[in-house]
Amino acid sequence: MPRTMIEVDRGSNEPLYRQVRRVIEHSIATGIFDPRRRLPSSRELAAELSVARNTINLAYQELLNEGLVLSHERRGIFVNPEMLAAVAAEEAVSEPVIDWPSRMRRYADEGVPDVEKRADWYTYPYPFIAGQIDVHSFPATAWIRSLREALYQPHAFASLQDSVGADDPLLVEMIRREILTARGIEAGQDEILITVGSQQGLDLLGRTLLGPHHRVGIENPGYLDARHIFLRTGAQVYGINVDQDGLCLPETLSGTALVYVTPSHQHPTNVTLSMERRRRLLKIAAASGTIVIEDDYDSEFRYEGSPSPALKALDSTGDVLYLGTFSKFLSPGLRLGFLVGPAELIKELRRVRRYQVRHPPGHTQRALALMIESGDYHRALRYHRRQMKTRWEMLSQLAVECLPWDQAPYPPGGVSLWMKGPPNLDAVELVSHAEEQGVLIERGDIYYLQSSPPRNCFRIGFGAIPTRSIAEGMVRMGDVAKELLAER
Ligand SMILES: Cc1ncc(COP(=O)(O)O)c(C=O)c1O
């Protein structure tokens, strides 16, 4: 007979035989004992539990008296099938006492749409989506090499220890030297915080800097995740329109605690904030005491001309908060990013982060640091940028040929094209009809703040789709768009 799960507690005040009886009863009710097979004999149980046989006999006697078990001569003791249902019902878990929804905290972003993140996107032949990567172009060999190296000395401690609130100093140094300098930003070690992506950076900033009495300006249309995060702090969020030169600046930002911008390639339209507006934004913000967050999520991807310097590079006061991420080039699944800001703020954010997640995983931090240090990171980035440029050129050309309206030229950067169809195009319908043809594109109306947003916008991402699939996907998308417009 296999061992039972019965255990006795010799330190308990409950007599041993009662403990045995209770556990047998529970095991019968929960189906641990198969009712078709005999229960363990008193000899077997006594030996297993190292108790006197009499203790087990007493337990079985009580169960026999109550009719829970039956004794069949020479065959042993069995569960009484008639009692089984009754015992099970008694043991059955009753309805929850807690009304869970009423106990959960409610946030002010209820009803604001979420960016649709489809788990099955890679099963579609033409996934024109922006938030994922083509996994085949991930620099796997270099990454594996770095991961392995990060586990051996002198890197093992950095990879495996609990660093409490600290970041990997080598990664901070690599970001400082190899990544920020390329964006024209100078920062000290104590002005950088590693995050598990820009999203965590935004969340930490929201928790630390915002509350219900604050007003926050965001781009309209703009990044939905930022909108959610700011609303969840209780702050009042309002939209500032975007045109072909980026954010349309108001005369003043007085009364606005914080402004969130994506100057390199505005999300979702991809336009670049003009130099003149960058300077003016910094001036107005300084005059109004408004904090500026610059989300530089895909500055690596510039396909013509030189990339514009970061807003933070123009910031003479050092107050601009800068968010960077490794999600767009390396992978959004690695969850690594960073935040640059004044040392005293970084110190507090580190404390907030400590009581959430302590720190981003040490192993991935050190591996990334080693990958940057070895030169593999920048080699892979150059290769990837060339691939993305090819995709952008193909797409911009094909958009002109396949889509029945002309919107060229497209801003030469980013990981997506923002499409504005004719007013009679219903892009929500386009998205669903295209999906039937295996083509995934993203609806655009959800990025607007107004209650009746334009319905003729959508996004064609090219970070995830293999280059060879772009042409056929665009032809299919174009056919669907033409059909829809012809029906109107
Ligand atoms: C505007 C913007 N910021 C940041 C990110 C990246 O976020 P994370 O670093 O949390 O992956 C994205 C990705 O979709 C984005 O569109």
What CATH number does the domain located at 16-91 have?
Answer: 1.10.10.10
Reported as a pLDDT band with limits 50, 70 and 90, residue 318 is very high
Q: What is the pLDDT of residues 67-82, one digit of tens each?
A: 888 988 888 999 888 8
Tens digits of residue pLDDT in 208-228: 999 999 999 999 999 999 999
Pocket test of ligand 1: the residue of 297, 334, 442, 462 to mutate, having most ligand atoms within 8 Å of its CB, is 297
Residue 260's SS3 state is strand
At 96 the pLDDT is: 84
**Tens digits of residue pLDDT in 160-193:** 999 999 999 999 999 999 999 999 999 999 999 9
Measure CA 449 to chain center.
22
* pLDDT category of residue 24 using cuts at 50, 70 and 90: confident
Residues 33-62 pLDDT 10s: 777 889 989 898 898 888 999 999 999 999
CA atoms within 13 A on the CB side of 98: 4
379-487: same fold as 138-374?
no
What is residue 340's three-state secondary structure?
Answer: strand
Rounded Cα–Cα distance for residues 425 and 485 (Å):
6
pLDDT of residue 116: 81
Name the 3-class secondary structure at 460: strand
**With a 6 A CB cut-off, is 445 part of the ligand 1 pocket?**
no
Count Cβ neighbours within 10 Å for each residue of 84-94 and write b for 16 or more, e otherwise.
eeebeeeeeee
Q: How far is the CA of 26 from the CAs of 43, 63, 181, 434, 450, in angstroms?
A: 20, 12, 66, 56, 59
CB 234 within 8 A of CB 268: no
Q: Rounded to the nearest 5°, which phi and psi values hold at 306? A: -100, 150
Please state the rounded mean pLDDT for residues 104-120. 92
The pTM for the full model equals 0.84
Quote the pLDDT of residue 370.
98
pLDDT at 93: 66
Assign residue 113 a region: left if phi > 0, alpha if psi is -120 to 50, beta otherwise? beta
Q: Percentage of the chain with pLDDT > 70?
A: 98
Which ligand 1 atom lies nearest to the CA of residue 200? Answer: 10
Q: What is the DSSP letter of 339?
A: E
- Give 390 Cα–ligand 1 centroid separation in angstroms: 22
In the chain, the amino acid numbered 44 is E
Q: Is 447 in the pocket of ligand 1 (CB under 6 A)?
A: no
Q: Mean pLDDT of all residues in the chain?
A: 93
Q: How confident is the model at residue 246 (pLDDT cuts 50, 70, 90)?
A: very high
Give me the pLDDT at residue 99, please: 92
User: Residue 2: which pLDDT band, with cuts at 50, 70 and 90?
Assistant: low
User: What is the distance between the alpha carbons of residues 357 and 195, in angstroms, rounded to a whole number?
Assistant: 10
Which CATH fold would you assign to the domain 379-487? Aspartate Aminotransferase, domain 1 (3.90.1150)
C-alpha–C-alpha distance, residues 69 and 89, integer Å: 17
Is 270 near ligand 1, meaning CB less than 6 Å away? no
Ranges of each domain in the chain: 16-91, 138-374, 379-487
Protein residue closest via CA to atom 7 of ligand 1: 198
Produce one character per residue of 227-252: b if its CB has 16 or more CB atoms within 10 Å, e if not: bbbbbbbebbbebbebeeebbebeee
Mean pLDDT of 96-122: 92
Looking at domain 138-374, which of 3.40.640.10, 3.40.50.10740, 3.50.50.100, 2.40.30.10 is its CATH number?
3.40.640.10
327 Cα to the center of ligand 1, angstroms: 7
The larger pLDDT score, comparing residue 30 to residue 245, is at: 245
